[in-house]
């Protein structure tokens, strides 16, 4: 296309030169004609360069425009997804607010329940066989202190109360030995106590000279005959894992009806 333009330009110049020569009678200088042609050709090249630059810039702008269109479409899809997420979050917030209201109602109802449960377990310990008394009373006092604390969640308080009930329940299935000072016949004695569930609660002095049991009917410690001395000593050693487990003959006194 560029060559065609130059050829047409040359033809026009030659025609113009012929007309000038025929109309005026003067001879055109051929060098001047070539110089004019070269100037026109250079100007055409510069124009073509500008056209190419404009074409390249146009293509660049078109590509950028297409890119922006893709980004806009992507943002529209993203916005639609965000709208769905926001809608779901608003529903969850509504449900959460409803749950909070329900939890508040439950908290107002469960706190009195926990207080009654603590009172009940304290009464149970007072009426139960007197083993690990300090430990059990301290646990109950800990529960009462916890109930007054504002930094402990209601769920944690309820969990601790249930745990105390579970421990009391486990006492009926476990055996253990521990040292304690008890009052026997009006005298305090340092003894080793053996607890076999809630079936038997017996003691023996460290020197093995005195053996006794808790009488649930009289609510006091009583001295036993020497016939149980060996069995109770072996039971204490078993509980302390100093002797292999074996059968034991221990005194069991059932509480009378009404007590």
Per-residue model confidence as pLDDT tens digits over 100-127? 667 677 777 888 999 999 999 999 999 8
Show the 3-state SS of 31-69. Answer: HHHHHHHHHHHHHHHHHHHHHHHHHHHHHHHHHHHHHHH
Please give the pLDDT value at position 124.
Answer: 94
> Is the per-residue pLDDT at 30 higher than 70?
no
CA distances for 87 relative to 76, 84, 96, 150, angstroms = 17, 5, 14, 35
Q: Which of 4-13, 18-27, 30-39, 175-184 has the highest mean pLDDT?
A: 175-184
Phi-psi region of 254 (alpha: psi -120 to 50; beta: other; left: phi over 0): beta
Output phi, psi for 187, to 5 deg: -125, 140
Q: What's the DSSP call for residue 249?
A: -
Q: Sheet with 200-204: list strands edge to edge.
A: 175-184, 187-196, 200-204, 211-215, 220-223
Kindly indicate the confidence band of residue 19, based on its pLDDT and cuts at 50, 70 and 90.
very low
Collect all residues with Cβ–Cβ distance below 8 Å to 191 and sequence separation of at least 6: 179, 180, 181, 182, 203, 204, 205, 206, 210, 212
Residue 203 pairs with which residues in a beta bridge? 193, 212
Beta strand pairing status for 175-184 and 200-204?
unpaired
3-class DSSP state for residue 213?
strand
**Segment among 23-27, 65-69, 84-88, 97-101 with least mean pLDDT:** 23-27
**How many CB atoms neighbour CB 194 within 10 A?**
28
Please give the pLDDT value at position 91.
Answer: 84
């Amino acid at each position: 296309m560029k060559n065609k333009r130059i050829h047409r330009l040359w033809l026009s110049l030659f025609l113009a030169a012929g007309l000038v020569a025929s109309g005026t009678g003067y001879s055109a200088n051929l060098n001047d004609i070539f110089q004019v042609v070269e100037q026109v050709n250079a100007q055409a090249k510069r124009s073509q360069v500008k056209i190419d630059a404009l074409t390249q810039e146009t293509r660049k702008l078109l590509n950028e425009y297409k890119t922006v269109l893709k980004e806009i479409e992507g943002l529209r899809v993203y916005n639609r997804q965000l709208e769905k997420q926001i809608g779901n979050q608003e529903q969850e917030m509504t449900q959460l607010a409803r749950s909070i209201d329900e939890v508040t109602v439950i908290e107002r109802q469960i706190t009195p329940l926990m207080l009654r449960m603590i009172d009940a377990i304290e009464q149970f310990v007072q009426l139960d066989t007197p083993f690990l008394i300090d430990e059990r009373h301290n646990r109950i006092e800990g529960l009462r202190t916890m109930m007054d604390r504002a930094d402990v969640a209601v769920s944690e308080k309820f969990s601790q109360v249930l745990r105390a009930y579970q421990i009391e329940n486990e006492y009926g299935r476990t055996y253990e030995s521990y040292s304690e000072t008890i009052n026997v016949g009006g005298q305090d004695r340092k003894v080793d106590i053996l607890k076999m569930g809630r079936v038997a609660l017996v003691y023996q002095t460290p020197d093995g000279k005195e053996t006794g049991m808790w009488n649930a009917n009289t609510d006091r410690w009583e001295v036993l005959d020497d016939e149980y001395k060996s069995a109770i000593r072996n039971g204490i050693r078993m509980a302390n894992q100093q002797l292999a487990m074996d059968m034991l003959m221990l005194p069991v006194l059932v509480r009378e009806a009404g007590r």
